[in-house]
């Protein structure tokens, strides 16, 4: 039996964006044993995903620490990286596709035995190289974000069989069957004001103003987010004259998928939440700043809309009125 290893040591959104490639690769190579190396924290998001035969995982904090150390000393890797490679005890592979841009993933990709390889690699000499046509496309131009026309999902798919997809195709995420709490009645719109870095967050006061407008239009805004977003959600509530329901930090990834599926719309910064929504078929309005280019990291599929700040401007420069107009158009199904 042949074996293929995919390496995806990036965050949750990147993992969800990888699932169309994995699904297509499984369909094109039914007799291949597919392995996936991912972050420990993300593995539960793929529970029940039949395209992967074997999972291998590493803790996110450990990966983040080694990304920095290997990048600074590429030709002198730390003993901990060598220990990780030995501890994984991976077999030889016929193919290896590295979808990770972090240093540890690229360092591992160069040292894991495989007959054919694609992606980024850090060699024993400390050179950082990229193999494969789509990888070359992704890193070729300094002004790439103003030129690229492809979502990251399709750039990933280009590393595999690719080909046409149904207009109704979605990424995959595990979905719970129930929630540990009750949802309010009415047409729900989820607001996700958190993000991993402050420069990727639209201001809390702007989210509060948006929530008030949604309330006036007859919708029920609710706050969602990871446990680390609790302070941000509390700040949004502090700008409101009355409380709204906040489920921030109260859901697993699968429960978040269940919750978002029951909403008419998700309004979110560029985080994993938009990709969860894409996977469960809920439309998104994304608010994107200079840290992301919407064509690459917007939710995959039809019906989603993005407000993109200028690449040299702070996210706070996006006016609330612009977001309200886009949200109204999305709710009404209007063309922009």
Strands 54-58 and 93-98: unpaired
pLDDT at res. 336:
43
266 in helix, strand or coil?
strand
Please give the model's pTM, rounded to 2 decimal places: 0.94
Which residue blocks in the chain are alpha helix, DSSP H?
12-28, 60-72, 79-88, 103-111, 133-139, 152-157, 204-216, 230-238, 253-261, 272-280, 294-297, 320-332
Question: What 3-state DSSP class applies to 96?
Answer: strand
The pLDDT assigned to 335 comes to 46
Q: In what order do the strands lie in the sheet with 305-308?
A: 220-223, 188-192, 265-269, 284-288, 305-308
pLDDT at position 144, please?
A: 60
What is the model's pLDDT at position 5?
98
Specify whether the backbone of 218 is left (phi greater than 0), alpha (psi in -120 to 50) or beta: left
Burial class from Cβ neighbours inside 10 Å (0-12, 13-18, 19+) for residue 307 reads buried
Q: What is the pLDDT of residue 205?
A: 97
| Residue-level pLDDT, tens digit, the chain, 336 residues | 899 999 999 999 999 999 999 999 999 999 999 999 999 999 999 999 999 999 999 999 999 999 999 988 888 878 899 999 999 999 999 999 999 999 999 999 999 999 999 999 999 999 999 999 888 887 765 556 567 788 999 999 998 888 888 888 999 999 999 999 999 999 999 999 999 888 889 999 999 999 999 999 999 999 999 999 999 999 999 999 999 999 999 999 999 999 999 999 999 999 999 999 999 999 999 999 877 778 888 999 988 999 988 877 889 999 999 999 999 888 887 544
């Amino acid at each position: 039996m042949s074996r293929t290893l995919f390496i995806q040591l990036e965050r949750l959104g990147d993992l969800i964006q990888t699932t169309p490639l994995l699904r297509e690769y499984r369909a094109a190579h039914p007799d291949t044993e597919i392995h996936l190396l991912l972050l420990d924290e993300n593995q539960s998001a793929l529970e029940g995903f039949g395209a992967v035969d074997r999972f291998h995982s590493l803790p996110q904090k450990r990966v983040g620490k080694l990304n920095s150390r290997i990048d600074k000393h590429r030709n002198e890797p730390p003993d901990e990286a060598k220990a990780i490679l030995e501890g994984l005890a991976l077999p030889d592979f016929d193919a290896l596709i590295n979808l990770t841009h972090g240093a540890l993933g690229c360092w591992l990709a160069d040292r894991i035995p495989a007959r054919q390889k694609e992606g980024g690699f850090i060699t024993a000499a400390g050179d950082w190289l990229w193999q494969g046509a789509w990888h070359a496309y992704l890193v070729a131009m300094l002004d790439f974000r103003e030129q690229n026309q492809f979502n990251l999902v399709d750039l990933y798919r280009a590393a595999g069989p690719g080909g046409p997809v149904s207009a109704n195709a979605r990424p995959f995420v595990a979905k719970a069957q129930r929630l540990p709490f009750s949802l309010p009645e009415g047409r729900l719109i989820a607001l996700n004001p958190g993000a991993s870095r402050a420069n990727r967050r639209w201001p809390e006061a702007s989210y509060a103003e948006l929530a008030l407008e949604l309330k006036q239009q007859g919708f029920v805004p609710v706050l969602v987010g990871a446990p680390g977003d609790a302070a941000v959600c509390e700040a949004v509530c502090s700008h409101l004259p009355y409380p709204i329901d906040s489920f921030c930090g109260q859901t697993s990834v699968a429960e978040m998928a269940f919750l978002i599926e029951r909403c008419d719309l998700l309004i979110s910064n560029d985080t994993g939440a938009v990709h969860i929504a894409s996977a469960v078929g809920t439309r998104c309005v994304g608010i994107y700043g200079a840290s992301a280019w919407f064509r690459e990291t917007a939710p995959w599929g039809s019906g989603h809309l993005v407000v993109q700040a200028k690449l040299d401007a702070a996210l706070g420069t996006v006016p609330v009125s612009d977001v309200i107009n886009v949200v109204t158009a999305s709710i009404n199904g209007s063309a922009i």
